[in-house]
Structure 1
Amino acid sequence: MSYQIPCSPVVTETEEKKSRFICWLGPVTDKAAFLHELELIRSRYPDASHHCTALVIGNPSNPQTMQSDDDGEPGGSAGRPMLELLLKQGVGNVGAIVTRYFGGTKLGVGGLMRAYRGAVGAALQSAELTTFIPLLAVRIVCDFAEESRVRFLVAQCRGVCEDAVYTHQVSVPVQLPQDQWPTLRAQLQAEGIRFEELEAT
């Protein structure tokens, strides 16, 4: 349900056998925005050897988007260990870009995996993370006499009532934290108030 997300971008630098690894790690909810950030970093470090990436959009236990790229490093030696670390740490809506300046000594596949994973690990340690709780959209249908009670119950569960539609009954769109929904649902069921679960965001 809930997962960790970075609050703002960080940049850290690590070194392995004279190769420099500069890691940008930051919040990402859109693949196009991440690719734009990658282009900015490519232009900032035009003489770098590689720009390897990992991206997780959505909940890391079941991501909407998940991808990695080795950018010319041996297959599976850079992007994949970066991605695996983000997933293992339970961080979502996050992108990592590791820029490598080759230091003259080949690291081998195992060394590269450790170095790229370590670069992302250092950035995660520097980053401020916060808990993200997905929101759930619900529509509650009630009689006019029940509307104030519905609004009270929603507020108790840290939810927000949006603009209601009034016909022969009241239809109230609601957004609330997903972890609060079982409590509200039980209260609505106990009072015989109808509802429709829409979607999580």
Structure 2
Amino acid sequence: MSYQIPCSPVVAETEEKKSRFICWLGPIEDKAAFQCALQSMRAQYPDASHHCTALIIGNPANPDTMQADDDGEPGGSAGRPMLELLLKQEIGNVGAIVTRYFGGTKLGVGGLMRAYRGAVGAALQAAELKTFVPQLQVRVAGSFAQESRLRFLTNQQQGRCEEAEYSDRVSMRLQLPQDCWPALKQQLLAEGFSILDSDL
């Protein structure tokens, strides 16, 4: 299943009752990379009141990792609304860090939720998104006479043949969109190909 991911990091700033909200939003593939981004924001804004975060790794419909942190703000007033907005927009492999400078006026939980959600929304508007299509690799074997047929069927499913090995038969490593694999697998098995291994 494809989903949207950010192309590159963006920073957007919003203001609510003199409190500044600076949102960093960017593509993230693992927790370590997100920690690096957070450390960078803490170093860049060392005197800020809070650095609240939301992280989704993988498909937003069924994430590998999903987390939110309020960093000292009232529970559920910062990280959760940030995370919920990213999920609602169906964006994956994404991290958001909102740095807040307190402006002297308390916003209340409702006001904080709107402000943090708004900061992420402003960054999303500035961000360029692209569609991410999860890929898988599989090795398939068949007779020499079947090689051209295997290449044809793989191309039909938006895949490509990455390498071929020849012995008493031909085996090929294919890469294709995960969504396309069930149909191709059924076709290959029906035509007598062997599935040697796959990511699934």
TM-score w.r.t. the length of structure 1 is 0.93
C-alpha RMSD of matched pairs (Å): 1.6
* Matched position secondary structure for 1:63: coil
Q: Does 1:46 align with 2:46?
A: yes
Conservation of the 8 A alpha-carbon contact between 2:77 and 2:109:
yes
Residue 178 of structure 1: how far off its partner (Å): 1.9
Which shifted more, 55-64 or 130-139? Answer: 130-139
Quote the residue 2:37 is aligned against.
Answer: 37
- In structure 1, the partner of 2:22 is 22
Relative distance call for 1:111 and 1:95 in structure 2 (3 A) is same
- For residue 105 of structure 2, what is the aligned residue in structure 1? 105
Aligned residues: 200
**Poorly superposed stretches of 4+, deviation over 4 Å:** none
Stretches of structure 1 lacking an aligned partner (at least 5 in a row): none
CA distance in 1 between counterparts of 2:193 and 2:11 reads 51
Deviation per residue, 1:48-90 (Å, 9 max, x gap): 1100000000000111111111111111111111111111110
The CA distance in 1 between the partners of 2:142 and 2:150, in whole Å, is: 8
The amino acid of 2:131's aligned partner reads T
Equivalent residue, structure 2, for 1:12: 12
**Is 1:74 matched up with 2:78?**
no
The letter for the 1-side match of 2:144 is: F
Range with greater deviation from structure 2 (93-102 or 143-152)? 143-152
Deviations 1:70-117 (A, max 9, x none): 111111111111111111110000000000000000011111111101
Deviations 1:131-188 (A, max 9, x none): 1111022221211211122122212322122333334322212110123324423432
- For the residue of structure 2 that corresponds to 1:163, the secondary structure is strand
Amino-acid identity (%): 73
Q: TM-score scaled to structure 2, two decimals?
A: 0.93
1:1-201 to 2 correspondences below 5 Å? 1-195=1-195, 198-199=198-199
